Amino acid sequence: MKKLLTIFCILILSACSNEVPYGKLVLREGIYYEVNSRTPFTGIAYDDFSSNPNMGYGETKFKNGLKHGDQTSYFPNGQLAMKKTWHNGCHVGALTYWYENGQKSAVYRNDDKCNRHGLTQQWDMDGNITEETCYIRNDRLSMYGDPVVIRYPIDQHEALKKQYCSDK
């Protein structure tokens, strides 16, 4: 009886999860659906990146036809390649990329209204920061009409970052 109950629970849980290949989704008027379905997709769409040998696997969570939750992709060696978070179809928070060696490559930040906002950073493969750019609600901060791009190495980068890139 206990074995039968365990099997029943596993079947119920697996029926509740909805995972489909990304290619089986279609976008209609801003909403994702499974092919030949009229119900907005809720579940996980995955991609094995078979057309791109440099990528291994990726998945995106959906709720009511909109991207909602974490989106991740991995290199063939299993190392995380990219991660970002969606909320009701809006990219919010950090979008982070990594090199295949595990070193962070770039971080882009959005506010809760899908606007690029805050400090954007890029690193080389050895972990040395190479560039920082500041955004406020999708606009690059500018000084005398030029974008404030802080390139390394420079001596004054901390003062510039405090002046132009503080969380506002």
Torsion on CA atoms 120, 123, 129, 132, rounded to nearest 10: -20
Residues sharing a CB contact under 8 Å with residue 10, sequence separation 6 or more, in sequence order: none
pTM above 0.75, yes or no: no
Contact 71, 86 (CB under 8 A): yes
Cis preceding linkage at 153, omega within 30: yes
pLDDT in tens, 84-108: 999 999 999 999 999 999 999 999 9
Domain range annotation of the chain: 2-164
Q: How many helices (H) and strands (E) does the chain have?
A: 2, 15
159 has a pLDDT exceeding 60: no
Q: How confident is the model at residue 143 (pLDDT cuts 50, 70, 90)?
A: very low
